[in-house]
Structure 1
Amino acid sequence: MEIVCKLYGPPQEIVGRKRVRCAVDDGATVEDVLDALIDEHPDLEESLYDADGSLRDSIGVLANRTNITRREGLSTPVDDGDELLITPPVHGG
């Protein structure tokens, strides 16, 4: 299945594009999509993950407009055609 990833900030700079399509197996999770992105763009790993393997606080991931922290985190399942937004968090004031 195919997931559309929209990248902003450092992830976009590393990949060189704002929009990337990722092919993942049925039953995939957000983590699987991020792993597929890293396979294609290894420099992305340091931008997305801390040394302990957790998602950096400086990166927000939304699956179909919902922050994954409000769902199942990196274990959030994805379906064909879903959209992931990967961006530095936006803070209002």
Structure 2
Amino acid sequence: MKKRKINIAKKNPGKNKLDKFFLLSWKKIFFGLIVWVSAVVLHNLIYTFITGVLKIEIADEPFFFVIAVIVIPIYFLIAIVYTIMYILKKIQKKRD
């Protein structure tokens, strides 16, 4: 018996607009990790450039830091909960 590969994010495209943004796939997880690492690196590079090269004393360059520490983890938390609820709802429909 062949195992079927199920991609949850591509199932029923266009049925729900939230599915496009919140259903996780490996591609979205990989992209999120790349964005997170990029935000951390950009935060450190910009801070180093401003304080080291330009000799301007600032508290910090917060934009990329906020993205890396607050926005991306909140997105992944919401997406994980949404994906779990979607899968559980799908399993419940199969039982009925």
TM-score of the two chains, using structure 1 as the length reference: 0.22
- Structure having greater relative contact order (Cα 8 Å, sep ≥ 6): 1
Larger Rg: 2
Higher helix share: 2
**Greater share of residues in strand:** 1
TM-score normalised by the chain length of structure 2:
0.22
